Amino acid sequence: MTGIKYAWSALGGDPSLPGRVTTVTRAGTLPAHLPVRRLARACVGVCALAAAELGARRTGAAALPGVRVDDAAVATAFTSERHLLVDGRAPVQFAPLSRFWRAADGWVRTHANYPHHRARLLDALGLPGDASPEDVAARVAGRPALEVEDAVYGAGGLAVALRSPGEWAAHEQAVAVAARPLVERGRPDTAHARVLPPLDAGATPLLPAAGLRVLDLTRVLAGPVATRTLGLLGADVLRLDPPWLPELPDQHADTGFGKRSATLDLTTDRAAFEELLASADVVVTGYRPGALDRFGLSPEALAERRPGVVVAQVSAWGAYGPWAGRRGFDSLVQVATGIAEIEGAADRPGALPAQALDHGTGYLLAAGVLRALTEQSYDGGSRFVRLALARTARWLMEEMEETEEMEEGTEDKAEHKAQAKAEAESVPEGGESYEGPDAWLAETDSALGRLRYARPPLSFADGPADWARPPVPWGSAPSRWAQPPGPKARADLARRA
């Protein structure tokens, strides 16, 4: 429970509420050297707790619905992209050039799943567009790892040199990350916020986010996980993408549950975006910090045009420090922070058993939005919530162990890590064994084909057990809300025109 208490405190929650959470612990889920299972459990637990809190607020219930976190459901959801089948076909997780490469003095990991990132990687290495993995391996092998990192990033691609935890701790970006809280929260104004209508206390399922309008400007993977979760809880989630930047189809299928998908060019269709913003309750962005500011999408600019909005932002490295403007993905953050060294072998770096930084940060981001909405219901004000994968990595690598030690009174860190390893390999007292993911998978028909998918891990009394809608083809929806904006939103838009 310590991880749940820590994360709930970071979200500004009432410290008495984690007592409403019960856990089903299962050995064998998300096995790793680092406490991945505890991090995953905590992230899902606080998200479900935040949903229950908002649900109780909107139904007028005196007590929160009970929350249940099952390690098996969490582990399955944290690897949802691996369980997806589309008409029986398993998606490819990483492209051939997204992998580790041995450099002259260490290791480099690249990310080239998107065609434009692949092209920039090859350009940085001086290779033609049809270069093979063997060509890349030969070119990287002759250069220092940091030189490759700098060259590829300079060309707009993605590559990170492997660092040890100590090397990362001394890095200027790590210092900047460590100075920030796990969840950054703020209130840029005291504006009136839309009062959410009450919910019928007897209706099932209980959908705490029913009636909310969420603009989803996110990509890979934490942001889409957050908005997928808000869709589960009843929000009208509209994902917007530039028409020239399609999402990878299988990735879209995995994270598209509970949403509609539209394309919108912010450079030419600003009027259409402003009309959407005029009646949006939440805006979630997942691009590099500052990348959308020129479109007026900073929290301050959004709150000025749409007072009372909740703005949620997620990035790889954080909105501060020398790497604030860098692109990044979960796999690359693992390499930079030293996670890949911890999880690797003597002769090769490794990885976590799931893209846990992405999934965990996604559930924390959704929890931050839900908590912001609950706080708004008491005292109004626009809100922002900001998270970074690198900050979640610090929690996993350092703070998770520290808080466990404080809770258990264990002063010897080696002893504590041995205890944690033993816990991961054995069935805890009162726990259950893990029989695999099958019980947590479901199937549905969709416009994309027959889908097998991971069921949502959030569980609270009378809450939804599944999404109300399957994913739709990318860009297939009109760029408008499911219901037209009300009179006030139309008046606000007319006044600003």
Residue 135: how many CA atoms within 13 Å on its side-chain side? 13
CA dihedral (111, 113, 118, 120) positive or negative: negative
Percent of the chain at pLDDT exceeding 70: 91
Give the SS3 label for residue 196.
coil
Asked if 152 and 293 touch (Cβ cutoff 8 Å), the reply is no
* Residues 93-114: tens digit of each pLDDT: 899 999 999 999 999 999 999 9
Could you give the CA distance from residue 319 to residue 177 in angstroms, rounded to a whole number? 9
Could you give the CA distance from residue 490 to residue 479 in angstroms, rounded to a whole number? 16
Give the SS3 label for residue 432.
strand
Give the SS3 label for residue 344.
coil
- Report the pLDDT averaged over residues 22-42: 96
Side chain identity at 75, as an amino acid letter? Answer: A
| Cα distances (angstroms) measured from residue 487 to each of 213, 309, 333, 491 | 16, 17, 45, 6
Where helices occur in 125-201 by DSSP H, the ranges are 133-141, 145-154, 165-169, 172-178
- What pLDDT does residue 490 have? 40
- What pLDDT does residue 290 have? 86
Could you give the CA distance from residue 376 to residue 148 in angstroms, rounded to a whole number? 47
How many other β-carbons are positioned within 10 Å of the β-carbon of residue 214? 23
- What pLDDT does residue 156 have? 95
Asked if 76 and 457 touch (Cβ cutoff 8 Å), the reply is yes
Of 486, 450, 32, the closest CA to residue 278 belongs to: 486
Model confidence at 424: pLDDT above 60: no
Query: For residue 440, what pLDDT band results from cuts at 50, 70 and 90?
Result: very high
- What pLDDT does residue 192 have? 84
Which contiguous run of DSSP H or E holds residue 405? helix 400-408
* Residues 172-221: tens digit of each pLDDT: 999 999 999 999 999 999 888 778 899 999 999 999 999 999 999 999 89
Best mean pLDDT range from 300-304, 340-344, 406-410: 340-344
400 burial via Cβ count (<10 Å: 0-12, 13-18, 19+): buried
- Report the pLDDT averaged over residues 28-47: 97
Mean pLDDT lowest for which of 84-93, 236-245, 448-457, 484-493? 484-493
Mean pLDDT lowest for which of 197-206, 384-393, 408-417, 461-470? 408-417
* Residues 308-334: tens digit of each pLDDT: 999 999 999 999 999 999 999 999 999
Asked if 79 and 454 touch (Cβ cutoff 8 Å), the reply is yes
DSSP 456: P
- What pLDDT does residue 495 have? 42
* Residues 120-157: tens digit of each pLDDT: 999 999 999 999 999 999 999 999 999 999 999 999 99
Asked if 151 and 124 touch (Cβ cutoff 8 Å), the reply is yes
Model confidence at 416: pLDDT above 50: no
- What pLDDT does residue 410 have? 45
Whether the full predicted model's pTM is greater than 0.85, yes or no, is: yes
- Report the pLDDT averaged over residues 451-470: 98
Could you give the CA distance from residue 154 to residue 459 in angstroms, rounded to a whole number? 44
| Cα distances (angstroms) measured from residue 187 to each of 10, 81, 183, 184, 304 | 15, 35, 13, 11, 12
- What pLDDT does residue 414 have? 52
Model confidence at 262: pLDDT above 70: yes
* Residues 47-106: tens digit of each pLDDT: 999 999 999 999 999 999 999 999 999 999 999 999 999 999 999 889 999 999 999 999
Strand ranges (DSSP E) for 303-348? 310-315
More confident residue, 468 or 288: 468
- What pLDDT does residue 494 have? 40
DSSP 325: T
Give the SS3 label for residue 370.
helix
Model confidence at 496: pLDDT above 70: no
Asked if 9 and 50 touch (Cβ cutoff 8 Å), the reply is no
Backbone φ, ψ for residue 107 (5° rounding): -130, 150
Could you give the CA distance from residue 241 to residue 232 in angstroms, rounded to a whole number? 21
Average pLDDT over the chain reads: 91
Query: For residue 484, what pLDDT band results from cuts at 50, 70 and 90?
Result: low
- What pLDDT does residue 430 have? 52
Backbone φ, ψ for residue 185 (5° rounding): -130, 145
Q: What does the DSSP assignment read for 220-242?
A: SSHHHHHHHHHHHTT-EEEEEE-
353 Cβ neighbours under 8 A, 6+ residues apart: 30, 31, 32, 36, 79
* Residues 266-293: tens digit of each pLDDT: 999 999 999 999 999 999 999 988 889 9
Query: For residue 408, what pLDDT band results from cuts at 50, 70 and 90?
Result: very low
Backbone φ, ψ for residue 240 (5° rounding): -120, 130
- Report the pLDDT averaged over residues 370-391: 96
